[in-house]
């Protein structure tokens, strides 16, 4: 009982402290869909060295949470969409999830978990409503589970929404999609009753990428030659226009004062014409200065978003490229924790600080042997790129212009590094050779892998966790 009292007292102190120091801040999304990941402890040190005090996870990875123990960093953990059905099925299932992923970490010297993201963009149009019916029941069950654990007053449940949940030709006319009106109204009622903000992901880059008619300068923060005039209000950047479209949509449902958190916003550095270092720096720096100026927007003057989570901290080389090759290049740091460009996060440091003590494989690369006939290399390249990340070779990518032999070498090396530089992985029927001279050309960087981060069995795969939750719920039901 004394341990319980100690934990409960710790949470009370945190709650009281949050009222005293709560303020808007810049945070980051820490995604882990990578072939080779930095050690979680290295990532946490990277966060601390850059004074980043808020981080958003897409799951409740025990390795990441273990590394965050005692860091003082405020954390949003996530529940993948695939788990919503099981969690919505019974409170026994949600109780188990809370015990395993919240209660065990939210102790003295533990992890400062502030939010649980219930799903990730579950109302996305492309999902065709497959997760929609689970959201509210999952929220209700999880809220009850948090209450049982005496955490409901501190840990807030949120549902990150994509900006496609609302629409309009002008910001002041913003409305939620008609088929979402009922469930969004239920969601807003829940959020309001429990003191939670509305979390939205806004991506001006995707608007530019998806439309040839979208004015490029409107995506940034230096003014636009194509501003949007909406009655007395003039919008010269897409972020403010999108944000106020949401504000108007919330107002129409009676929640015009609902606090808003930006769950994801950023700009990729590779894989598309508009995705490059210069544009990413201009967007992210402009965004940070804009938010921290407290200027707000025309519909919320002087009231910027509560928090803004930059997407993302690190590149994720194993993400799907179906939306575009840029998907693997959102990081403000490369996969190995090295800053891609200078950026002032407004958190004390004027420049980003690189990750320390990164463990690399030896400095060697696999390239095409120029003395061999490379005419039959196509199948080798296809196989290499089906396993490794070759997204920078495509149109608009940083390695697109390095020539045919360069493209072959890049594909070979990407595969070679992924195979921990195994000698056989650079054979390619005699067409590859190992070199100790860095073949990087200009902005096209030939990567050297980092050593594997995991020891033992690592975190429980997501599909196993889903089945555990479902079986647990079934057993409770049968009992």
Residue 159's CATH number: 3.20.20.80
Mean pLDDT across 350-354: 97
Residue 12 has pLDDT above 90, yes or no: no
pLDDT tens sequence across 36-85? 899 999 999 999 999 999 999 999 999 999 999 999 999 999 999 999 99
Mean pLDDT across 239-262: 98
Q: Tell me, yes or no, whether 407 and 316 share the same domain.
A: no
Rounded to the nearest integer, the mean pLDDT of the chain is 91
What distance in Å separates the CA atoms of residue 228 and residue 212, rounded to the nearest whole number? 17
What's the pLDDT score for residue 466? 53
What's the pLDDT score for residue 36? 86
Tell the burial category of 430 from Cβ atoms under 10 Å away from its Cβ (0-12, 13-18, 19+): exposed
Q: Tell me, yes or no, whether 414 and 294 share the same domain.
A: no
Q: How confident is the model at residue 452 (pLDDT cuts 50, 70, 90)?
A: low
Q: Tell me, yes or no, whether 385 and 255 share the same domain.
A: no
Q: Catalytic site residues? A: 121, 264
Q: How confident is the model at residue 471 (pLDDT cuts 50, 70, 90)?
A: low
What's the pLDDT score for residue 20? 34
Q: Tell me, yes or no, whether 183 and 311 share the same domain.
A: yes
**Selection from 58, 57, 78 nearest residue 68 by Cα:** 57
Q: Tell me, yes or no, whether 308 and 421 share the same domain.
A: no
Residue 7 has pLDDT above 50, yes or no: no
Mean pLDDT across 457-464: 43
What's the pLDDT score for residue 18? 38
Total-model pTM: 0.90
Residue 5 has pLDDT above 80, yes or no: no
Residue 459 maps to a domain: no
- Is pLDDT larger for residue 308 or for residue 455? 308
What's the pLDDT score for residue 10? 46
Residue 348 maps to a domain: no
| Per-residue CA distances from 183 to 129, 134, 236 (Å) | 11, 11, 32
Mean pLDDT across 453-470: 46
Domain interval for residue 417: 365-435
Residue 3 has pLDDT above 60, yes or no: no
What's the pLDDT score for residue 229? 98
What's the pLDDT score for residue 476? 46
Beta strands in 73-222 (DSSP E): 74-79, 112-118, 156-158, 161-162, 166-167, 175-176, 198-201
What distance in Å separates the CA atoms of residue 262 and residue 243, rounded to the nearest whole number? 9
Report the domain count for the chain. Answer: 2
Residue 355 maps to a domain: no
Mean pLDDT across 213-219: 96
């Amino acid at each position: 009982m004394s341990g319980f009292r100690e934990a409960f007292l710790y949470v009370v102190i945190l709650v009281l402290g949050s009222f005293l120091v709560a303020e808007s801040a810049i945070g980051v999304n820490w995604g882990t869909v990578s072939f080779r990941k930095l050690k979680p402890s290295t990532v946490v040190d990277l966060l601390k060295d850059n004074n980043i005090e808020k981080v958003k996870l897409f799951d409740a990875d025990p390795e990441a949470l273990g590394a965050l123990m005692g860091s003082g960093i405020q954390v949003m953990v996530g529940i993948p969409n695939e788990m919503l059905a099981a969690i919505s099925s019974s409170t026994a299932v949600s109780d188990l999830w809370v015990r395993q992923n919240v209660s065990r970490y939210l102790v003295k010297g533990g992890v400062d978990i502030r939010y649980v993201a219930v799903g990730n963009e579950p109302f996305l149009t492309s999902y065709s409503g497959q997760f929609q019916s689970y959201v509210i029941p999952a929220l209700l069950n999880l809220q009850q589970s948090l209450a049982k654990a005496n955490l409901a007053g501190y840990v807030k449940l949120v549902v990150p929404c994509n900006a496609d949940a609302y629409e309009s030709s002008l910001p002041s006319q913003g409305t939620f999609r008609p088929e979402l009106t009922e469930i969004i109204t239920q969601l807003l009622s829940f959020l309001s009753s429990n003191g939670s903000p509305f979390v939205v992901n806004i991506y001006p880059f995707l608007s530019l990428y998806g439309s040839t008619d979208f004015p490029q300068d409107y995506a940034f923060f230096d003014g636009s030659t194509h501003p949007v005039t909406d009655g007395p209000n003039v919008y010269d950047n897409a972020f403010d226009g999108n944000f106020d479209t949401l504000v108007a949509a919330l107002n129409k449902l009676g929640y015009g004062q609902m606090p808003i958190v930006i769950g994801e916003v950023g700009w990729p550095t590779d894989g598309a014409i508009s995705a490059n270092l210069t544009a990413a720096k201009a967007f992210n720096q402009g965004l940070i200065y804009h938010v921290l100026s407290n200027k707000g927007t025309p519909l919320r003057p002087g009231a910027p978003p509560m928090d803004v989570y930059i997407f993302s901290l690190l590149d994720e080389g194993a993400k799907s490229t179906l939306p575009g090759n840029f998907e693997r290049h959102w990081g403000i740091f490369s996969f190995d924790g090295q800053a891609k460009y200078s950026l002032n996060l407004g958190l004390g440091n004027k420049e980003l600080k690189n990750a320390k003590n990164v463990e690399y494989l030896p400095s060697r690369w696999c390239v095409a042997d120029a003395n061999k006939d490379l005419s039959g290399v196509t199948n080798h390249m296809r196989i290499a790129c089906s396993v490794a990340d070759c997204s920078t070779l495509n149109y608009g990518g940083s390695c697109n212009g390095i020539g045919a032999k360069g493209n072959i070498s890049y594909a070979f090396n990407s595969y070679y590094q992924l195979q921990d530089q195994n000698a056989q992985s650079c054979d390619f029927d005699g067409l590859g050779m190992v070199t100790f001279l860095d073949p990087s050309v200009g902005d096209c960087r030939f990567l050297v892998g980092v050593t594997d981060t995991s020891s033992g069995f690592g975190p429980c795969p997501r599909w196993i966790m889903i089945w555990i939750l479902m079986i647990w719920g079934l057993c409770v039901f049968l009992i």
